[in-house]
Copies of this chain bind each other. A is one copy, B any other.
Amino acid sequence: MDAAERLVESTRELLWERGYTGTSPKAIQQRAGVGQGSMYHHFAGKPDLALAAIRRTADEMRAKAEAQFSAPGTAADRIAAYLRREREVLKGCPIGRLTQDPDVMADPVLRAPVDETLAWLRTRLAELMTEGRERGELDAALDPPTTAATVVATLQGGYVLARAADSVHPFDQAIAGVLGLLAAHVSAAPTDEGPPVPRA
């Protein structure tokens, strides 16, 4: 791995752990094992490096989500699988956390990938829900755009609760809670299981 690559990876880690304001060029260089001069040769400065790091993290996050969304199964199954996917809960969402960084939000270039990623997630979930409704897998009373926003918000808020409590438990509860609420809108017809059971 060359210097530029190590710099981007170190920046990604530090942005996740400490945010933009809390991350200094010096810390990035040290973690990457790269000198001052080298960093400024490859990147114009902290914002430039942060942009590369944020873009990569955003791309990765979309790819991981899309893998769940385009898997086989009913819409409800895929949404549930996405919600239950393994996550580094206590570290929080590497994209969502940037939302609290005033210097990131103040810079349209840095903000764009954050905005786009979260907007894409909502859109994609709403599409899945619409698809599920059309196939009769989901109750017609379920409103895709608002419900999709709720699902993404539950994830983002779940991270907040987990970090506050220093425990994954509230995150798991929040997920179990939405899944329970959504279950009331899943048509039991196509499956041969019993009625939905209340989950922990």
User: Is the beta-carbon distance between B115 and A165 smaller than 8 angstroms?
Assistant: yes
User: Is the beta-carbon distance between A173 and B145 smaller than 8 angstroms?
Assistant: yes
Specify which of B100, B156, B170, B174 is in contact with A19 (CB 8 Å cutoff).
B100
- Say how many copies of this protein the assembly contains: 2
User: Is the beta-carbon distance between B199 and A164 smaller than 8 angstroms?
Assistant: no
Q: Is the interface of A mostly helix, strand, loop or mixed?
A: helix
Number of A residues contacting the other chain (C-beta, 8 Å)?
A: 59
Query: Hey, which chain B residues are within 8 Å of A147, CB to CB?
Result: 177, 180-181
User: Is the beta-carbon distance between B161 and A152 smaller than 8 angstroms?
Assistant: yes
Specify which of B156, B163, B165, B182 is in contact with A157 (CB 8 Å cutoff).
B156
Chain A residues in the interface with B (C-beta under 8 A):
17-19, 21-22, 92, 96-97, 99-103, 105, 111, 114-115, 118-119, 122, 141-143, 145-158, 160-161, 163-166, 170-171, 173-174, 176-178, 180-182, 184-185, 196, 198-200
